[in-house]
Amino acid sequence: MYSKEVEKLLLKVQKPGRYVGGEMNSIIKKKEEVDVRFAFCFPDTYEIGMSHLGLKILYGAINEVPYFWCERVFAPWIDMEALMIEQGLPLYALESGDPVRDFDFIGFTLQYELSYTNVLNMLKLAGIPLKSSERTGLFHIVVGGGPCVCNPEPLADFFDLFFLGDGEEVDIAVMELYRRCKAEQKSRQEFLELAAQIEGVYVPSLYEVSYQDDGTIKACIPKNGAPERVKKCVIRDMDKAYYPSTFVVPLIDVVHNRVSEEVLRGCIRGCRFCQAGFLYRPFREKSIDVIDAQCQALCASTGYDEISLSSLSTSDYSQLNELLDRLHTWTEKEKVSVSLPSLRVDGFSPELMERI
């Protein structure tokens, strides 16, 4: 929980609920029983970050491992930021109230390019050196994931490694490697070289880039055993992929204050203008049984009375009418509404309209 110093500032800011933690279903562990601590940093305000499904999935996946502890960190709004700088208070995590500088991993999700300056600002508020070359020892490993990692070069100097593709498995694999390297007292460089061998991990410092006279890239040469081409991590079976049975329930109103159930990943369309349609390939669906069970578990653990069937294009789910019929067997009785936020006109039928 937050410190006494933070408590003094709460009456001076617009929305104190952004900074206090203590929400239902937030995960608290004993520090002495944890080997690796991960600060999941969302480079935007609490309301935006708490609406992000990726945060909820990774928060649950990491915390399911007894000796890992993932905590949430959000960018403070300008009123709180000014007070933190004035009082000399560092950026802190909501679960423990500990400064971000106390964590092994500082992970950022890169969802949109306009958040890049927030990433650097959060590192600055945490008191962590901005450039990866300035950070030493097997500590303060700054990592990034999300759709913007399809082109990580603008931020390459500031990150130790990037996760490409689906993060549920590769994040855990890198943290397990870090735990082993920590026990064996390996150096930061040794850890990064070993991490580069894991599929879906890109370590910018292990590549030498030369440029043409006009500034375009001439060559990109890997060193110290790094792969020439980094392949993204892909979870093939969505039914077996980790999905949380509970969400942290925010204390204040956020953008998406409801159960979000991912029904599929990818898109069947392949529109040339759509970045997401290419990044999240291949197209993978969950089964009706799995979706139904996950929705029931989340409604029971959070108390939400609205389910949003989430994907790039939910109307492309091959058994959508059958899925809605299954959900209606209990949602109507429980007074739970079902919404489909991503519908295409060409996939919207009279049958679907009737079910909604």
pLDDT in tens, 58-93: 999 999 999 999 999 999 999 999 999 999 999 999
* Averaged pLDDT of the chain: 93
What pLDDT is recorded for position 203? 97
CA 260 from chain centre, in angstroms, equals 14
What pLDDT is recorded for position 346? 64
The mean per-residue pLDDT over the stretch 28-35 comes to 95
pLDDT-derived band at 217 (thresholds 50, 70, 90) equals confident
Is pLDDT above 90 for 155? yes
Picking from 159, 204, 167, the residue whose alpha carbon sits closest to that of residue 43 is: 159
The mean per-residue pLDDT over the stretch 112-120 comes to 96
Question: Which domains are delineated in the chain?
Answer: 4-222 (3.40.50.280), 259-355 (3.30.750.210)
Is pLDDT above 70 for 349? no
The mean per-residue pLDDT over the stretch 224-240 comes to 93
Identify the residue with better confidence: 277 or 242. 242
What pLDDT is recorded for position 123? 98
pLDDT in tens, 44-58: 999 999 999 999 999
Look at 73-77, 175-179, 275-279 and tell me which has the smallest mean pLDDT. 275-279
Is pLDDT above 80 for 356? no
Query: How far from 256 is each of 7, 122, 243, 252, 264, CA to CA, in Å?
Result: 27, 24, 18, 11, 19
What pLDDT is recorded for position 209? 87
Q: In percent, how much of the chain has pLDDT > 90? A: 81
pLDDT in tens, 328-338: 999 999 999 99
Is pLDDT above 70 for 154? yes
pLDDT-derived band at 216 (thresholds 50, 70, 90) equals confident
The mean per-residue pLDDT over the stretch 201-205 comes to 96
Is pLDDT above 90 for 353? no
Q: In percent, how much of the chain has pLDDT > 70? A: 96
